């Protein structure tokens, strides 16, 4: 795009148009430079996010789309355009696919005449600026009413990057999955049908062609990264003995290769708790029995005295995993550590309207001990992740899938279970 064209476009963009873009991307415009709108870096919870530059011609196309009712998808990164019956999903690709530019000519595509305007045709499109071939995969229904395409993004899904050091827009494309229906489609119907088509297509690409793509879940507040524990600035010679299995479990959430796998992080810390449950439970049972034996009114000749011990042991024997967890938290985690953690600003995460459904909120004024509330939440969340079908009490709660929108918002819960794991390890060393 020449600069002159850029300036022409800038005259077309009214302040009202710019605020539409600010709203849809949750950005704030700072200036216009070299044919781009520049949106300022945002400071969220102390984390500086990069600025974004949007070419003016792309900005105009986005405004036009917004004006005809297009909006960003709620669950995934991408756009929905009901008036055109069009949905575009950003996708991630794992590994080398058989459908790459060097081998794509071996493939044929099930294409029929259609009424859509496709920007490119299979098997690939050449990008002059980057001297790069991008593959284009497209199939269409027999009657031409519906097309599914994987190809470089349209303006709506342009990656938002800062300008380079010379103030130029970076060459930017990403792969998107596009669904074209036969025309204007009601929004919820369009979301449903495009999801169904995307699911089927990605499944078959994986199974039939070993070509693995996944839809990118939408991440809203990636800044919800609060540390549950303060950082210590003195590095010392280590004093904490750690068993191999605990060391391995504890390192998983910090492993770069695992990044983004929030449900796995949660379960790794949870498994550490699980490891200590039987020992702590036994310890607690022994303590209770010993207390009974030492009580002044204990009389080994009296059945009622012996029964007290029997009851205590039986209760302990029948304790569920949830009860054992509560016991563990009560025994090993100081109440003030929980108070301290929960007094941090977690953006309402642990409150009644928090982003994770099917788990109890934590309320320091409820009268129930924090240890008990925390244990209930941690256990219910664990059940949602592993989907404990055998436990009738949780049959209704829906499974929490890796990479779902909820999973991506787990960070404060991961920090909480990490805090519990650390305290339990320290208490049992």
Q: Which stretch binds Zn ion (CB under 5 A): 92-100, 106-114, 284-292, 369-377?
A: 106-114
Please work out the total of residues on this chain that contact Zn ion, with binding judged by CB under 5 A.
4
Q: What is the DSSP letter of 355?
A: S
Q: What is the dihedral of CA 101, 104, 106, 110, to 10 degrees?
A: -160
User: Nearer Cβ to Zn ion, position 147 or 179?
Assistant: 147
Q: Is 65 exposed, middle or buried (0-12, 13-18, 19+ CB in 10 A)?
A: buried
Nearer to Zn ion, 120 or 212 (CB): 120
Taking alpha carbons only, the member of 178, 158, 196 closest to residue 56 is: 158
Q: Which stretch binds Zn ion (CB under 5 A): 70-78, 113-121, 220-228, 314-322?
A: 113-121
Stretch that binds Zn ion, among 21-29, 116-124, 287-295, 410-418 (CB under 5 A): 116-124
User: Considering beta carbons, is residue 180 or 270 the nearer one to Zn ion?
Assistant: 180
- 335 to 364: interface string for Zn ion, x by CB under 5 A: ------------------------------
Q: Which is nearer to Zn ion, 76 or 180 (CB)?
A: 180
Segment interacting with Zn ion, rule: CB under 5 A, options 21-29, 143-151, 191-199, 258-266: 143-151
Question: How close are the terminal C-alpha atoms of the chain, in Å?
Answer: 65
* Least gap, CB of 39 to Zn ion (angstroms): 33
Give yes or no for residue 114 binding Zn ion (CB under 5 A).
yes
Dihedral over alpha carbons 378, 384, 388, 394 (to 10 degrees): 90
CB-nearer residue toward Zn ion: 139 or 388: 139
Residue number with CB closer to Zn ion (36 or 178): 178
18 to 1, 28, 220, 252, 411: CA distances (angstroms)? 20, 9, 21, 43, 33
87 touching Zn ion, by CB under 5 A: no
The least distance separating Zn ion from the CB of residue 112, rounded to whole angstroms, comes to: 8
Q: Can you say whether residue 178 is alpha, beta or left, with left for phi > 0 and alpha for psi between -120 and 50 degrees?
A: beta
Q: Is 147 in the site for Zn ion (CB under 5 A)?
A: yes
- Between residues 180 and 213, which has the closer beta carbon with respect to Zn ion? 180
Rounded Cα gap, residues 103 and 158, in angstroms: 26
Looking at the Cβ atoms of 183 and 334, the one nearer to Zn ion is: 183
Q: What is the CA radius of gyration of the chain?
A: 28
Distance CA 364, CA 210 (A): 51
Report, in Å, the least distance between residue 193 CB and Zn ion. 15
Q: Does residue 84 touch Zn ion according to CB under 5 A?
A: no
User: Judged by CB under 5 A, which stretch of 89-97, 114-122, 265-273, 338-346 contacts Zn ion?
Assistant: 114-122
Taking a C-beta distance cutoff of 8 angstroms, is the pair 85, 180 a contact?
Answer: yes
How many whole angstroms separate alpha carbon 237 and alpha carbon 240? 10
CB 86 within 8 A of CB 102: no
Task: Specify which residues 149 forms β-bridges with.
Answer: 138, 178
Taking the C-alpha atoms of residue 71 and residue 228, their distance in angstroms, rounded to an integer, is 36
- Closer Cβ to Zn ion, 59 or 148, answer by number: 148
Element (H, E) at 337: helix 335-343
What is the nearest approach in angstroms of Zn ion to the Cβ of residue 121?
10
Nearest to 205 by CA among 263, 138, 106: 138
381 binds Zn ion (CB under 5 A): no
Give whichever of 114 and 403 is closer to Zn ion, judged by the CB atom: 114
The answer to whether the beta carbons of residues 222 and 233 sit under 8 Å apart is no
Residues 23 and 282: their CA atoms lie apart, in Å, by: 56
Q: Which of residues 161-200 bind Zn ion (CB under 5 A)?
A: 180
Return the residue of 20, 84, 116, 262 that touches Zn ion, per CB under 5 A. 116
| Span of 146-154, 242-250, 259-267, 371-379 interacting with Zn ion by CB under 5 A | 146-154
Residues 228-257 that bind Zn ion (CB under 5 A): none
E strand or H helix at 231: none
- Which window, 144-152, 299-307, 312-320, 353-361, contacts Zn ion (CB under 5 A)? 144-152
State in angstroms the smallest separation of the CB of 195 from Zn ion.
19
Judged by the rule CB under 5 A, the positions of this chain that interact with Zn ion are 114, 116, 147, 180
């Amino acid at each position: 795009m020449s600069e002159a064209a850029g300036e022409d476009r800038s005259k077309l963009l009214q302040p009202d148009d710019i605020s539409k873009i600010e709203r849809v991307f949750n950005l704030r415009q700072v200036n216009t430079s070299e044919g781009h709108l520049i949106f300022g870096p945002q400071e969220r919870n102390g984390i500086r996010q990069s600025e974004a530059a949007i070419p003016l011609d792309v900005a105009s196309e986005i405004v036009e789309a917004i004006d005809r009712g297009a909006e960003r998808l709620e669950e995934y990164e991408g756009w929905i355009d009901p008036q055109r019956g069009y949905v575009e999903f950003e996708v991630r690709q794992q590994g080398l696919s058989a459908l790459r530019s060097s081998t794509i000519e071996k493939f044929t595509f099930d294409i029929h005449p259609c009424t859509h305007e496709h920007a490119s045709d299979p098997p690939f499109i050449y990008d002059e600026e980057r001297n790069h071939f991008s593959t284009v995969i497209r199939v269409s229904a027999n009657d031409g009413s519906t097309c599914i395409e994987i190809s470089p993004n349209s303006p709506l899904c342009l990656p938002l990057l800062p300008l380079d050091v010379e103030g130029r827009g970076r060459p930017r494309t990403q792969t998107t999955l596009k669904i074209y229906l036969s025309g204007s489609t009601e929004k919820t119907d369009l979301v449903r049908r495009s999801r169904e088509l995307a699911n089927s297509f990605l499944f078959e690409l994986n199974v039939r062609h070993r070509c693995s793509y996944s839809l990118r879940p939408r991440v809203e507040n990636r800044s919800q990264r609060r540390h549950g524990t303060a950082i210590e600035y003195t590095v010392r010679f280590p004093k904490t003995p750690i068993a191999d299995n605990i060391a391995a479990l504890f390192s998983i959430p910090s492993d770069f290769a695992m990044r983004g796998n929030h449900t796995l992080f949660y379960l790794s810390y949870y498994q550490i708790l699980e490891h200590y449950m039987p020992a702590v439970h036994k310890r607690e049972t022994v303590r209770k029995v010993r207390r009974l034996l030492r009580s002044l009114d204990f009389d080994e000749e009296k059945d009622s005295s012996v029964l007290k011990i029997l009851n205590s042991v039986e209760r302990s024997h029948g304790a569920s995993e949830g009860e054992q967890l509560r016991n563990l938290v009560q025994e090993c985690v100081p109440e003030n550590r929980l108070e301290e953690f929960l007094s941090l600003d977690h953006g309402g995460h642990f409150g009644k309207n928090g982003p994770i459904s099917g788990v109890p909120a934590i309320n320091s004024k409820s009268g129930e001990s924090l240890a008990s509330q925390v244990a209930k939440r941690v256990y219910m969340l664990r059940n949602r992740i592993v989907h404990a079908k055998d436990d009738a009490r949780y049959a209704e709660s829906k499974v929490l899938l890796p990479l779902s929108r909820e999973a991506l918002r787990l960070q404060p819960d991961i920090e909480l279970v990490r805090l519990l794991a650390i305290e339990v390890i320290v208490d049992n060393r």
